[in-house]
Copies of this chain bind each other. A is one copy, B any other.
Amino acid sequence: MTSETRQVRLANRPMGMPDEATWSLATEELPSITEGQLLVKVDYISIDPAMRGWLNDVRSYLPPVQIGEVMRSLDIATVVGSAHPDFAVGDVVSGMFGVTQYAVCDGADAQKVDVATAPAPTWLGTLGIPGMTAYFGLLDVGKLKAGETVVVSAAAGAVGSAVGQIAKARGATVVGIAGGPDKCRMLTDELGFDAAVDYRNENVLRRLREVVPDGMDVYFDNVGGDTLDAALANLRHGARVVICGGISAYNEEKLPPGPSRYMSLLVFRASMTGFVVFDYAERYAEATEQISAWLADGLMQAREQIVEGGVEKFGECLNMLFTGAGTGTGTGTGKLILAV
């Protein structure tokens, strides 16, 4: 049984985009497992926009990662040693094991993953936190009703692609905003979106006016910035703006200006609501069951882009999220995952 693990630690808090100085690669001795513990081998690491926020020393929904700590991540792993009665060697589990090859954890911190229902990477994507985020954000926070119009930004990403597909499964008209013609074509041709807006090559505010001339009922925002303003100019009476993320600003050293059109909330009697998916943890089973059914019925497709290379590649892989390379190749859409 292995006794050491390579792992990525936070070396310096980044100003702007993380770079090589942000991370250090360390090799650590693993303790032996004691009663109730597991030794797990990490197979897949979830690469998330939220990770950027965890690097800042500010109050947020989770404490910041401290200098010298192993980078926080959600992983899929295989049990390679067990001193817990509920887990056997060979079980596949998910947990916050971090950016590491191996980890020792308490059984309470690992959840078994049903790889008969869906392949392991899908449990980090459509059936994982991004899928949960899309489901509760759209249906609970956004209060989507059948027949309504939904617009989602970062629509080719892990959350956005799930939002659009769930909205279609629930009978909505769906428009995705994404970067580049390949992603836009994929949204309409492969994932069933009604229309797509290419923010790199089109004026989003004007294009939205064309594709949703009566305005949108729900805007699901993953990006902030000018895209959020363009959406605010195209709301419908009583619209709900769901604030899920603001990736356009995650690497800014100062807070950029906020949405200058926020007074549209008054004109359209609209609301803008933020949420954090972890608040819905007690209802993940409900979402998992529904999304599994949609996947089985062909109403949703799970998409992952898996990057090979192990923990050494973590820094590079994370930055793919912010340059758009994460889903920019035409093949890759949906959840960005690092294979260990």
Decide: A274 and B279 in contact? CB cutoff 8 A: no
Interface flag for A269 (CB, 8 Å): yes
Residues of B within 8 A of A246 (CB): 263, 266
A298 at the interface (CB under 8 A from B): no
In-complex Cβ contact of A59 among B245, B265, B267 (8 A): B267
Q: How far is the CB of A127 from chain B (nearest CB, A)?
A: 23
Shortest A258–chain B CB gap in Å is 4
- Quick one: CB contact mask for A52-64 with B, threshold 8 Å, 1 for yes? 0000000111000
Q: Indicate the size class of the contact surface on chain A.
A: 20 to 34
In the complex, which of the residues B245, B256, B274 contacts A260, with contact meaning CB atoms closer than 8 Å? Answer: B256
A229 — which chain B residues lie within 8 A by C-beta? Answer: 258
User: Is there contact, CB below 8 Å, between B272 and A271?
Assistant: yes
Q: How many copies does the complex hold?
A: 2
Query: A258-B257, A258-B260, A259-B258 are contacts. A275–B267 as well, Cβ < 8 Å?
Result: no
CB of A282, distance to nearest CB on chain B (Å): 15
A265 to B60, CA, bound (A): 11
The docked-state distance in angstroms from the alpha carbon of A260 to that of B260 is: 9
Which residues of chain A from 105 to 151 have any CB-CB distance to chain B below 8 Å in the complex?
none
Cβ–Cβ contact A270 & B267, under 8 A: no
Q: How far is B256's CA from A337's CA once the two chains are assembled, in angstroms?
A: 39
- With an 8 A cutoff between CB atoms, is A224 at the interface? yes
**Chain B positions within 8 Å of A224 at CB level:** 262-263
Q: Which of A214-270 contact B (CB under 8 A)?
A: 224, 229, 243-246, 249, 255-270
A269 to B244, CA, bound (A): 10
CA distance A224 to B260 in the complex (A): 10
A4-37: CB near B (< 8 Å → 1, else 0) gives 0000000000000000000000000000000000
Q: Complex formed: what's the CA distance from A195 to B231 in Å?
A: 38
Cross-chain contact of A274 among B249, B255, B263 (Cβ < 8 A): B263
**Least CB distance, A242 to chain B, in whole angstroms:** 10
9 interchain residue pairs of minimum CB distance: A257-B257, A266-B274, A265-B274, A258-B258, A271-B273, A258-B259, A255-B260, A258-B260, A258-B262
**What 19 new A-B contacts, CB under 8 Å, besides A224-B262, A270-B273, A271-B274?**
A60-B267, A61-B267, A224-B263, A243-B262, A243-B265, A243-B266, A245-B266, A256-B260, A257-B258, A257-B260, A258-B260, A259-B262, A262-B272, A265-B272, A265-B273, A266-B276, A271-B272, A272-B272, A272-B273
Task: Name 15 A/B residue pairs within 8 A (Cβ), A-sorted.
Answer: A60-B267, A61-B266, A229-B258, A243-B263, A243-B265, A245-B266, A246-B266, A256-B260, A257-B257, A258-B260, A259-B259, A264-B274, A265-B272, A269-B274, A270-B274
